[in-house]
Amino acid sequence: MIRRADQIGGVLLFVFAILYTLEARKLPSRGMNALFFGQGSPGPNFMPYWLGITLAVLALALIVSGTLRPFAPGGEEERLPGVAGWTRMAVVFGTLALYLLVLPVLGFSLGTLALLTTLLLFPDRHPILIVLGLPIGTTLLLHWLFLRVLHVPLPTNVLGF
């Protein structure tokens, strides 16, 4: 599994490194730099260009090492989750993404209340006391701590919380 992953990862990294190098070549080689430093100093393209080439070499090394590694069946499969694992992770990630999308509308306090309640119901269900108490308590505490005491600016809804 890791062997194949190294080969695929190496190819993806190689493509990225080449694209990055090509983009780096578009940057000025000295240009504005000469205004601030002598002609000898490298321009804005120097480090990205050489970095891209180095990454491409490392990507090739990854492909080679992945290809030369002896195949060990079943050795690494457990590192990737099964369907249940993917589902659990998708629930957590999806809830987080939704939370971030609705945050500017719902505001920090309401949004956080919704996020915590959802994640205490799915993917693992907790006792009702925790599902109800923890989100309310945590939201009130965070609202007081960050908005009132520490004056950390957090998104608010039209009602101001």
Partner 1 sequence: MDILQNLALGFSIALTPTNLAYCFFGVLAGTLIGVLPGIGPATGIAVLLPIAFTMNPTTSLITMAGIYYGAMYGGSTTSILMNVPGESASVMTCLDGYQMARQGRAGPALGISAIASFVAGTVGAVGLMLLAPPLTILALGFGPPEYFMLMLFGLTTLAGIAGDSMLKALISGGLGLVLGTVGTDTPSGYLRFTYGIPDLSTGISFVAVTVGLFALSEVLVNSERLLQREPIRTSLAGLYPSRADLRRCRGAFARGSLIGFVVGVLPGAGATIASFLAYAAEKRASKHPEAFGAGAIEGVAAPEAANNAAAMGAMVPMLSLGIPGSGTTAIMLGALIMWGLRPGPLLFEKNPDLVWAVIASMYIGNVMLLILNLPLVGIWASMLRVRYSILAPLILVFCFIGVYSIDNSMFDVWIMVAAGVLGYIMRKFRYPVAPLVLALVLGPMVETALAQSLTMSQGNAAIFFTRRTALTIFILMVLFVLSPVVRWALARRRGATASSRASV
- Per CB under 8 A, residues contacting partner 1 are 2, 5-6, 9, 13, 20, 23, 27-28, 31-33, 36-44, 46-48, 51, 54-55, 58-59, 61-62, 65, 79-81, 85-86, 88-89, 91-93, 96-97, 99-100, 103-104, 112, 115-116, 119-120, 123-124, 126, 130, 134, 138, 142, 146, 150-155
CA separation for the pair 73, 63 (Å, rounded): 19
Phi/psi of residue 75, each to 5°?
-70, -35
Q: In the bound complex, what is the minimum distance in angstroms from residue 121's beta carbon to partner 1?
A: 10
The torsion of the CA quartet 63, 67, 68, 69, rounded to 10 degrees, works out to 100
Q: In the bound complex, what is the minimum distance in angstroms from residue 38's beta carbon to partner 1?
A: 5
Which of 11/142 has CB closer to partner 1? 142
The torsion of the CA quartet 23, 58, 40, 44, rounded to 10 degrees, works out to 30
Q: In the bound complex, what is the minimum distance in angstroms from residue 11's beta carbon to partner 1?
A: 13
Crossing angle between the packed helical segments 83-121 and 128-142, to the nearest 10 degrees: 70
Which of 93/144 has CB closer to partner 1? 93
